[in-house]
Amino acid sequence: MQTNEGTDNKRFSARMGVIFLFVLLLGLGCIGKILHLVIFQRALYSGTSSKCLDKTQEGWEDNPLAQDENCDCYVVANNVRPVRGEIYDDHNRVMVSNVTVFDLTLDGRIFATKDTIYTHSAAKLNKLIEQLSAEFYNHFQHKFPKHDLQYYRRKFTIALAEQRNALILQSNESNERQWITSEDTAFINHLPMFSEKPCKRCVNYTFRTVRINPYGDLAKRTLGMNLGDRQYGMEYYFNEQLAGVEGSRKYLYVNKARLPLDEYVEPIDGCDLHTTLNLEIQNIVHNELNAKLIEWNADWGCAVVMETKTGEIKALCNLRRANKDGTQYTESDEYVLNKMVEPGSTFKIASALAYLEKKNGNDDQRYPILYHEFERKSKDGSKTYKFIKYDERGKAEDRGYPIDIIQRSSNVGIASMIFDAFGDDNYKAYLNKIDQLYITTSFSTQLGKIQAPNIKRNAKDFHTYYNTCFGAGFTMTPIQTLVYYNAIANNGKMVAPLFVKYVTKAHETEPIQTFEAEVINEQICSPTTIAKAKSYLEAVVTGEHGTARYYRNPNFTFAGKTGTRDIWDEQIKAYNYSKNSVSFCGYFPADNPQYTCLVFMYNVSKKSSIAVDVFARIARNIMNTTNFGALQNVNREHGTKLPRTHVVNSEQYKLIMENLGIAYPSSQLPVPYVTSGLRDDYSVMLKTPKFKSGDKMPDVSEMIASDAVSELIRAGYQVKIYGYGVVRRQVLDKSTNTVSLYLE
């Protein structure tokens, strides 16, 4: 027994010796290899060897290694994209943000390696293909209407039956209606086949970040795009601030292996834009214009609201008919900024300014209206030419003062005024005065340069001179009309429109770049002329014969001028009198202008009254929203208290208090949102809402929808809205990272 035991011990010791020797040799080999790599091949594996081609260096194509087919060591750099900056409205609500979308690929090669019932039965495999095709078609048919059931059968057959890698669906980056979102991936992952362990890895998602407009079409054209050949709006003109700076990570490819190198440059995220746009006002303008365009089946229309004193653009809407029956309009083209149109009778106030300046404010002379026979002598005075002009057929000549001519919108009258002031053959002197008023000037904006009107300057014929007086025969952009009307409202000070107020670093509040409206001219004409012009524009609404008199309202005042122009038809080389472009430009309230607004609609069968209707609706709603109307008078005689409000933005609350004339200590507004009321002694009572800006899941209860959506998107959630009013309940779906808001 002892002998056998001793023999076994010797055998065990011998085996252990062999193992020890093997491990020792292996260890020495590893150490040797490490030393060899560190000492002799360090340069190779760090990408600095002379045998390694560095494709990150300029001129690498000229390196002899670039022509060497046997070179298997090279360095490349992959760009690391920064997060693009967001765009906010004037109350810091997100108007453009980032969202992740996916492309869906199904790898049939992985499916084939799994031992499932489908891999052993052709009948069950075909049934699976049919089931998946039907499920995908039903779920995605609204996003990809061109993909029929046969399309999905073909794709799933390639992937599952032919056991290949197949791209099933791809997000269209430029069309958000064709984005595959986390909600779609959740649907796919919950399908029986893809929720089973053997097939989970068959589904591959390639993700990328795209831009999203949480409020759909609102100001979409102005907010813009910078994608391929679609370059316009803020996204394009402020791309340098929004884009950020790309980072990079270097990789070494050696012997077909990919190794990350230490060199890594962090990307710098893009900055945020804080615009002058206001979501409430933008929504009002969009809805009112859209409704009227649908009612009259117009080709297109635009509207813009500017804050009178600052030049800040609060809303800008460009809508074009999207279908033949005119039931749908979409944001398209930059009509307000770039579309050259005949201004029509809105230009009469420009002629009136020129007249008043030439007459030193004297407007006590009466001029022909309705009908007049103009006479013009030849250059040598030997002949007299007669031109019969009328505002209404069959009417006899009447006379009126300049204020009557503007409120009646008389073509005959305004031409008579200009001919009297400048001469019936001195067209050039008239244009020079218009130029001196900065009405025909070109100017630059943050969204590009605005063209000067293309007025015929060297014409000598009577008709060109006559037509120019009331805005016919030449074209200009709607924004130019708005700018000089705003100068009248602003007591003669002309400012260029402002779209972006300041820039901040991502998700910070301290501005790193600020902007102010450019002053085109401090005083375009004399205060006397401005005062007269204002009275003319008020008479258009309040006068007995004012073309906008049917829209005057005792609860609020506005002033402006109507415009109607026949549309020039290139085919017949004449005006089509059954088609009109109609407009109204003015400001409100009339006695203390806060906003200037222009409405323009193209190709309608009605005259300018429909543009006045849109303007009046916009003005009323804005004044109510910003508390210039309904809330400006509070009766305190009988102890009336300010009604308790829902959660409101602090800046909005300040504005409400200012317009109510209620003093409040600014130190009481340390948070972005407050609720408010008045105590019995009328001192302001403030409460802090449940909302906390740093919370992972913000509590947005009692907020209006626009504020709630903005805060949730900022926190990284997708949002769905049900109902109207303020938020009463919020529900998070963790699988899709979507918050449903229920409003009442």
DSSP string, 9-73: HHHHHHHHHHHHHHHHHHHHHHHHHHHHHHHTSHHHHTT-STTSEETTSTTGGGSGGGG-TT--E
Q: Is the predicted pLDDT of residue 321 greater than 60, yes or no?
A: yes
**Tens-place pLDDT, residues 575-634:** 888 889 999 999 999 999 999 999 999 999 889 999 999 999 999 989 877 554 333 344
pLDDT at 656: 67
Which structure tokens are listed for 427? 């067209």
Name which residue leads in pLDDT, 731 or 531.
531
Q: Is the predicted pLDDT of residue 115 greater than 80, yes or no?
A: no
In a domain, residue 199? The reply is yes
Same domain (yes/no): 467, 588: yes
Same domain (yes/no): 92, 65: no
Q: Is the predicted pLDDT of residue 46 greater than 90, yes or no?
A: no
Same domain (yes/no): 267, 287: no
In a domain, residue 125? The reply is yes
Name which residue leads in pLDDT, 231 or 703.
231
Q: Is the predicted pLDDT of residue 639 greater than 60, yes or no?
A: no
Decide if 550 contacts 616 (C-beta within 8 A): no
Domain harbouring 114, CATH code: 3.90.1310
Q: Is the predicted pLDDT of residue 155 greater than 80, yes or no?
A: yes
pLDDT at 571: 78
Mean pLDDT of 378-404: 88
Q: pLDDT band at 722, cuts 50/70/90?
A: confident
Same domain (yes/no): 425, 528: yes
DSSP string, 252-309: EEETTEEEEEEEEE--BPPPEEEES--HHHHHHHHHHHHHHHHHHT-SEEEEEEEETT
In a domain, residue 672? The reply is no
The residue among 597, 625, 653 that closes a domain is 625
Which structure tokens are listed for 674? 């407050």
pLDDT at 332: 85
Same domain (yes/no): 389, 453: yes
Q: pLDDT band at 144, cuts 50/70/90?
A: very high
Mean pLDDT of 668-674: 67
**Tens-place pLDDT, residues 524-538:** 999 999 999 999 999
pLDDT at 293: 95
Q: pLDDT band at 116, cuts 50/70/90?
A: low
Average of per-residue pLDDT values in the chain: 85
Q: Is the predicted pLDDT of residue 447 greater than 50, yes or no?
A: yes
CA dihedral (470, 477, 603, 404) in degrees, to 10, reads -30
The residue among 71, 98, 127 that closes a domain is 71
Mean pLDDT of 113-136: 76
Name which residue leads in pLDDT, 43 or 590.
590
Mean pLDDT of 479-495: 97
Number of domains in the chain: 4
- What are the two backbone dihedrals, phi and then psi, of residue 2, each rounded to the nearest 5 degrees? -65, -35
Same domain (yes/no): 594, 546: yes
Q: Where are the beta strands (DSSP E) in 391-455?
A: 398-400, 443-445, 448-450
pLDDT at 708: 83
Q: How far is CA 109 from CA 103, 190, 573, 738, in A?
A: 18, 21, 66, 33
The residue among 625, 641, 664 that closes a domain is 625
Q: Is the predicted pLDDT of residue 202 greater than 90, yes or no?
A: no
Q: pLDDT band at 118, cuts 50/70/90?
A: low
Partners of 208 in the beta sheet? 101
What percent of the chain has pLDDT above 90? 47
Name which residue leads in pLDDT, 397 or 637.
397
Same domain (yes/no): 212, 358: no
* Distance (Å, whole) CA 665 – CA 684: 9
* Distance (Å, whole) CA 211 – CA 173: 8
CA 672 distance to own-chain centroid? 24
Q: pLDDT band at 346, cuts 50/70/90?
A: very high
Mean pLDDT of 502-530: 94
Q: pLDDT band at 711, cuts 50/70/90?
A: confident
Weakest-pLDDT range from 95-99, 204-208, 446-450: 204-208
The separation between the first and the last C-alpha atoms of the chain, rounded to the nearest angstrom, is 94
Mean pLDDT of 186-200: 72
Same domain (yes/no): 602, 712: no
Mean pLDDT of 399-427: 95
Q: How far is CA 689 from CA 255, 700, 741, in A?
A: 62, 9, 17
Q: Is the predicted pLDDT of residue 214 greater than 80, yes or no?
A: yes
The angle that helices 348-358 and 527-542 make with each other, rounded to 10 degrees, is 140
Q: Is the predicted pLDDT of residue 39 greater than 70, yes or no?
A: no
Type of residue found at 198: P
SS3 720: strand
Name which residue leads in pLDDT, 545 or 175.
545
Same domain (yes/no): 413, 492: yes
Same domain (yes/no): 193, 300: no
User: 136-169: buried (b, 16+ CB within 10 Å) or exposed (e) per residue?
Assistant: bbeebeebbeebeeebbbebbbbbbbeeeebebb
**Tens-place pLDDT, residues 237-247:** 999 999 998 88
Per the structure, the complete domain to which residue 729 belongs is given by 705-743
**Tens-place pLDDT, residues 682-697:** 555 666 777 776 677 8
Mean pLDDT of 643-672: 65
From 705, 701, 732, select the one nearest 717 (Cα to Cα). Answer: 732
In a domain, residue 349? The reply is yes
Weakest-pLDDT range from 5-19, 135-149, 535-549, 629-643: 629-643
What percent of the chain has pLDDT above 70? 87
pLDDT at 638: 42
Mean pLDDT of 416-439: 96
pLDDT at 673: 78
* Distance (Å, whole) CA 39 – CA 352: 89
Same domain (yes/no): 267, 192: yes
Domain harbouring 491, CATH code: 3.40.710.10
In a domain, residue 679? The reply is no
Weakest-pLDDT range from 314-323, 438-447, 573-582, 676-685: 676-685
In a domain, residue 156? The reply is yes
Decide if 374 contacts 424 (C-beta within 8 A): yes
pLDDT at 633: 40
**Tens-place pLDDT, residues 256-304:** 677 777 677 788 999 999 999 999 999 999 999 999 999 999 999 999 9
In a domain, residue 642? The reply is no
In a domain, residue 678? The reply is no
Q: How far is CA 725 from CA 528, 701, 713, 721, 743, in A?
A: 47, 11, 19, 11, 5
Tokens 């214009």 correspond to 289
Same domain (yes/no): 440, 569: yes
Weakest-pLDDT range from 66-75, 132-141, 558-567: 66-75
